[in-house]
Amino acid sequence: MKRKQKTRRELPAIPDKLYFTISEVSQLCVLKAYVLRYWEQEFPQLRPIKRRGNRRFYQQEDIVLIRQIRKLLYEDGFTIDGARSQLSNTPETISQPVKINIMVKKVIAELESVLQNLQAEMKVSH
């Protein structure tokens, strides 16, 4: 009997902006907002800026951290305690593959944008 393999969903590129709402981060990390709020309690490194009305604003490094946590829990099979321990023991070695993946996705998104602009210019000039 063949075992059904989980299809790994590709995470979207992180847009180049300073602040993100919890709903934007939820979409970028493919997580529910309540999961993000729960992780804030469990991972001391995750501290988004809170503004009036207790609204959360995340920065790019927060999203990178969330993606690291997501990978540790969902792909590598760590428990929350194990993931917390991994992050506090070796933050740089764990985050390196995640950072590289994010940079590659950014470059691809930028190249696709350049290609679309070139194609649009080609249509106009003909």
- On the question of pLDDT at 3 being above 70, the answer is no
pTM listed for this prediction: 0.67
* pLDDT at res. 104: 72
Q: What is the 3-state secondary structure (H, E, C) of the chain?
A: CCCCCCCCCCCCCCCCCCCECHHHHHHHHCCCHHHHHHHHHHCCCCCCEEEHHHEEEECHHHHHHHHHHHHHHHHCCCCHHHHHHHHHHCHHHHHHHHHHHHHHHHHHHHHHHHHHHHHHHHHHHC
CA distance 124 to 126: 6
Q: What is the pLDDT of residues 29-72, one digit of tens each?
A: 999 999 999 999 999 989 999 888 889 999 999 999 999 999 99
The pairing of beta strand 49-51 with beta strand 55-57: antiparallel
* pLDDT at res. 89: 78
